Each structure stands twice: as structure tokens, then as C-alpha cells.
């Protein structure tokens, strides 16, 4: 097999066999058996091998669904669009409700989610950084919403500072008034004591 215009081959292992990822200057990479004199070029691993690997990847459950994704979903994506596609999304019936995303070209597990991490994805990443796919795909809208929330937070912070400052001023006036009243009361007590001593 010719490897003309190659940018570099990468050796990797899948299901106990060695493979080359052949990268040419033009066109997508192809996969070839490393131990064959005339390796057969593949654009991805065989479905039967991928199914065996997926079955062995998670214990305590069986495969509930295996779906090929040509686009990102709510869990498998990156903002820079560098996650490989297509990808196999495999859902299991194990106690953790595991989801695996497997690159069919090399058989690598590119991402793994369980029920807890899927909740964390929405409650932390989603709400904390507006990490929602429908917003990321509409980046000007994401910027507008993020800027609006930042300005709202700034307004609340300034309002809190103003309210706190006014409270401290009121507290200062209260203690100043109390100090004056206490001083006057103390002076009256002393004057009364002096008069009583003089009368004796």
C-alpha cells in the first residue's frame, strides 16, 4: 500500500491488535492493520469490533442504546469544535447509567458520563458559565446574555454597597446620639450628688 504525501503515521492498539493511523496531506486519515503485509485501509473500525469493545467497557449492565452521532449533542461537544465526529454514543443499564462516547475511527473512549456527572453538567457548567449548546451555537446571543447578567450583578453589588453604607451612617448617628445623652445623664447624676453632699 502506498503512503504518498504522508504527514506521519501513528501507531495505536485496539482490541489487542496494532493499527496505523495513516495521515496524508490531502483527505481524511485512514486506519490500517500494522501486522499485515498488505493492510486493508479502513475509515473506521468494524462495527462488530466496536460492539465487542463497548460491551466490555462497562460492567454490571448491558447496552441499552447505541447511536451514531454526526453532530454534537448536549454532553459531547467542545466550544472550539475539536471533538471528533462522527462518534458512537452508547447508553448502558448499569447502576450508574453510564454513557460512553467512542470514536469509531480508532475505538477510543473520548468521553464518559454517569448520571451524577450529567446532573453536574447542567447544574454547574450550564448555570455557572451558560454552557448550553444552543447558546454556544448562537455566540452573539451568548455574549448579550452574559453581559446582561454581569451588568445585573454589578448593579446588585453597587446597591448592596450603598445600602450598607447608609446603614453604617445611621448606626454611627445612633451611637453618637447615645453617647451625648449618656454624657448628659452622667453629668446630671454628678450634679445631684454634689447638691446632696452640700445639703448634708
Binned at pLDDT 50, 70 and 90, residue 2 comes out as very low
Region 137-147 average pLDDT: 69
Cis peptide before 86 (omega within 30 of 0): yes
Spatial neighbors of 75 by CB under 8 A, at least 6 apart, are 99, 101, 111, 113, 118, 121
3-state class (DSSP) for residue 108:
strand
Beta bridge partners of 113: 99
Binned at pLDDT 50, 70 and 90, residue 81 comes out as low
Nearest to 14 by CA among 1, 30, 31: 31
Spatial neighbors of 98 by CB under 8 A, at least 6 apart, are 58, 61, 91, 92, 112, 113, 114
pLDDT, tens only, 9-43: 788 888 888 888 877 777 677 787 777 655 566 66
Q: Are 87 and 50 in contact (CB under 8 A)?
A: no
Amino acid at each position: 500500500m502506498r503512503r504518498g504525501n504522508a504527514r506521519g503515521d501513528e501507531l495505536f492498539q485496539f482490541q489487542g491488535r496494532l493499527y496505523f493511523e495513516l495521515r496524508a496531506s490531502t483527505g481524511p486519515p485512514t486506519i490500517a492493520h500494522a501486522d499485515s503485509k498488505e493492510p486493508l485501509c479502513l475509515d473506521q473500525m468494524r462495527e462488530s469490533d466496536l460492539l465487542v469493545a463497548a460491551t466490555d467497557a462497562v460492567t454490571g449492565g448491558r447496552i441499552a442504546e447505541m447511536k451514531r452521532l454526526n453532530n454534537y449533542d448536549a454532553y459531547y461537544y467542545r466550544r472550539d469544535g475539536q471533538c471528533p465526529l462522527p462518534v458512537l454514543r452508547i447508553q448502558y443499564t448499569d447502576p450508574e447509567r453510564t454513557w460512553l462516547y467512542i470514536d469509531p475511527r480508532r475505538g477510543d473512549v473520548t468521553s464518559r458520563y454517569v448520571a451524577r456527572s450529567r446532573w453536574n453538567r447542567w447544574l454547574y457548567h450550564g448555570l455557572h458559565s451558560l454552557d448550553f449548546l444552543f447558546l454556544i451555537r448562537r455566540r452573539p446571543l451568548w455574549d448579550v446574555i452574559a453581559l446582561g447578567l454581569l451588568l445585573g450583578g454589578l448593579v446588585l453589588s453597587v446597591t448592596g454597597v450603598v445600602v450598607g453604607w447608609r446603614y453604617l451612617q445611621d448606626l454611627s448617628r445612633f451611637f453618637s446620639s447615645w453617647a451625648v445623652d449618656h454624657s448628659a445623664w452622667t453629668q446630671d447624676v454628678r450634679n445631684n450628688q454634689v447638691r446632696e453632699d452640700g445639703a448634708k
